[in-house]
Amino acid sequence: MRPLDIEGAWVDRPRVFSDRRGHFHEWFKADVFREVTGHPLRLEQANCSRSSRGTLRGVHYAAVPPGQAKYVTCVSGAVLDVVVDLRTGSPTFGSWEAVRLDDREHRAVYLSEGLGHAFMALEEDSVVVYLCSEGYAPQREFGIHPLDPELAIRWPDGLTPQLSDKDAAAPTLAEAERRGLLPGHEECLAHRRRLRSGVRGDACVSS
């Protein structure tokens, strides 16, 4: 796992073993994850989505604490996966970073609590699976419009974004900040320090 430019996010590129029968790879390793992040992955929910080409999901995030960290990979097709720093006070607040996830290189992205997540399907029937540190709780789930000009995420050319009604109605980053809906950087760092000290350390994926 190597860190992305946005602190609190990593990308993993596993070794893929292939032969005439197919291929095999390890898409999550608890010991490596724990060594890199300083804490085990708390697992409360696992999600799977299938998307048509051009589908754009996000930018989604959850209130911190407890937030919702995600470990994401694409098991079929391809997506452009995007991490957005929504933490007010962060040196990289408002910046984003994109990683192609597909069924060929089998990369995975981990984004810690307080970071926003979005992806666009680049191929038909693209399937994304992700492990979540917390279960879905509507009262603390929020979103930022993925086409917000201030964020200026460079989505692929030649694709018409297909958004859900909820994502299309999401506020811009500036609107969310004015309404006090964004997580604070220091609060997110404090939450991760608690994780490293073993607080909320139950229900974790371990080796």
Active site amino acids: 60, 130
Q: How far is CA 44 from CA 65, 68, 204, in A?
A: 15, 10, 8
Query: DSSP states of 48-115 as a string?
Result: EEEE-TTBEEEEEEE-TTT---EEEEEEESEEEEEEEE--BT-TTTT-EEEEEEETTT--EEEE-TTE
How many residues in the chain? 207
The DSSP secondary-structure symbol of 27 reads S
Residue whose structure tokens are 């608890």: 30
Q: 3-state class of 39 per DSSP?
A: coil
- 3-state helix, strand, coil split of the chain in percent (to 5) is 15, 35, 45
Residue whose structure tokens are 């724990």: 34
